């Protein structure tokens, strides 16, 4: 059913672009959150890295999700979704300045969009042209950020990650130190490897999606209550052999790199999402230039926001072929 597949791909593309806006805000929130300090064995190092508070005001963050399909999937090579760029805090409760490039690539095709915030206005950059977000849209992002920041600074000391529903200490298992001389993101680090309690991880994913929905990006409303119990169960059954690698600063116990690797099985009835058979999935988050000043400026010229829709439709064509089968 070509029409059905095309509609599915359009929904996938629209949701991906909308979720990218939410993710850009969420990553900025987490980046300006914190970790702790101290020394000890792997479990203690993880506790110091993922709890407490730490003064991170600026830096450069990169996030990459890769999916490489096997089995009966007709698609060769990995599909990657990446987000990266500088961020600069503007003070507690205020939306950071940031400039994140979001890219979807696969099958020799590539599409990119830049989501930029000066802290007082938001812009979308596409093919060299800038489009200012409507004031109401930007104000919703500001309000969501202020709510998350207020919650993260007001109680348990668990930090911003916990506010987003992410509790690594609840799903990391059997951690061991596997390296102590790695240089990552401009700092010496200790490398820790751990297994994963998949059910606890998926529960965190559900809460994270609920918070992403709260940011208010179009296309994420269905996650307002997180994942259903049946959806969580299906995801748990699909995940195999998960591992997590953490690189934490030797001196400050601040997260510099996080890598998640796993295998996943997908049912044959979902070819537009991931093909049949299995897939190797990897997620990498890395921070660099922490607390070094970052310069983020508004585009010199701005086009009417109403013209962006046509540009996005042109961008959808290569993205649909990557997202589809």
Does 39 have pLDDT greater than 50? Answer: no
Q: How far apart are CA 233 and CA 160, in angstroms?
A: 27
pLDDT, greater one: 71 or 251: 251
Q: Does residue 189 carry a pLDDT above 90?
A: yes
- The separation between CA 43 and the C-alpha centre of its own chain, rounded to angstroms, equals 24
**Residue 255, Cβ neighbours under 10 Å: how many?**
28
More confident residue, 30 or 270: 30
Contacts of 145 (CB under 8 A, 6+ apart): 25, 28, 29, 93, 94, 95
**What is the model's pLDDT at position 74?**
54
Question: Which of the residue ranges 18-22, 90-94, 99-103, 276-280 would you say has the lowest mean pLDDT?
Answer: 18-22
The neighbour count for residue 169, using CB atoms within 10 Å, is 16
Is 50 exceeded by the pLDDT of residue 100?
yes
What is the structure's pLDDT at 147? 63
Share the mean pLDDT of the chain. Answer: 76
Which range (109-118, 130-139, 254-263, 311-320) has the least confidence? Answer: 311-320
What was the pLDDT predicted at 141?
A: 74
Per-residue pLDDT tens over the stretch 278-315: 889 899 989 999 999 999 999 999 988 888 877 776 66
Q: Tell me the C-alpha distance between 123 and 45, whole Å.
A: 39
The per-residue pLDDT for 8 is 44
Asked if 242 and 198 touch (Cβ cutoff 8 Å), the reply is yes
Residue 268, pLDDT score: 57
Q: Is the pLDDT of residue 151 over 60?
A: no
Region of residue 165 (phi > 0: left; psi between -120 and 50: alpha; otherwise: beta): left
Q: Is the predicted pLDDT of residue 35 greater than 70, yes or no?
A: no
pLDDT of 167-182, one tens digit each?
888 899 999 999 988 8
Model confidence pLDDT, tens digit, residues 57-86: 899 999 898 888 875 455 557 888 898 999
Residue 261 has pLDDT above 90, yes or no: yes
Model confidence at 165, pLDDT cuts 50, 70, 90, reads confident
The reported pLDDT for the residue numbered 71 is 56
* 215-240 pLDDT tens trace: 554 444 555 566 788 888 988 999 99
Q: Residue 199 has what pLDDT?
A: 92
pLDDT at 192: 96
Supply the pLDDT for residue 218. Answer: 45
pLDDT of residue 24: 53
- Looking at per-residue pLDDT, the higher value among 290 and 137 belongs to 290
d(CA 314, CA 27): 27
Q: How much is the average pLDDT of 77-105?
A: 87
């Amino acid at each position: 059913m070509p029409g059905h597949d095309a509609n599915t791909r359009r929904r996938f593309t629209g949701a991906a672009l909308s979720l990218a806006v939410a993710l850009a805000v969420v990553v900025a929130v987490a980046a300006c959150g914190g970790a702790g300090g101290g020394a000890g064995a792997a479990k203690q190092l993880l506790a110091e890295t993922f709890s407490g508070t730490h003064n991170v005001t600026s830096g450069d963050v990169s996030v990459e999700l890769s999916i490489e399909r096997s089995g009966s999937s007709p698609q060769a090579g990995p599909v990657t979704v990446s987000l990266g760029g500088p961020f600069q805090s503007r003070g507690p409760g205020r939306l950071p300045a940031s400039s994140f490039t979001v890219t979807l690539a696969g099958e020799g095709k590539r599409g990119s969009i830049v989501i930029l915030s000066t802290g007082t206005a938001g812009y979308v950059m596409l093919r060299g042209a800038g489009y200012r977000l409507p004031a109401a849209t930007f104000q919703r992002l500001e309000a969501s950020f202020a709510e998350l920041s207020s919650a993260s600074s007001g109680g348990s000391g668990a930090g911003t990650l916990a506010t987003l529903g992410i509790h690594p200490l609840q799903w990391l298992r059997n951690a061991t130190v596997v390296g102590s001389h790695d240089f990552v993101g401009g700092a010496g680090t200790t490398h820790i490897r751990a297994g994963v309690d998949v059910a606890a991880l998926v529960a965190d994913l559900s809460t994270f999606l609920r918070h992403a929905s709260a940011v208010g990006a179009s296309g994420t409303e269905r996650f307002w209550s997180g994942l259903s119990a049946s959806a969580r169960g299906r995801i748990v059954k699909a995940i195999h052999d998960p591992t997590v690698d953490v690189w934490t600063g030797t001196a400050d116990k601040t997260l510099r790199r996080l890598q998640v690797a796993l295998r996943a099985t997908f049912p044959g009835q979902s070819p537009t999402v991931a093909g049949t058979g299995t897939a190797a999935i990897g997620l990498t988050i890395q921070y660099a230039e922490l607390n070094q000043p970052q310069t983020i400026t508004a585009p010199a010229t701005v086009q009417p926001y109403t013209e962006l829709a046509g540009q996005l439709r042109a961008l959808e064509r290569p993205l649909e072929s990557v997202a589809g089968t």
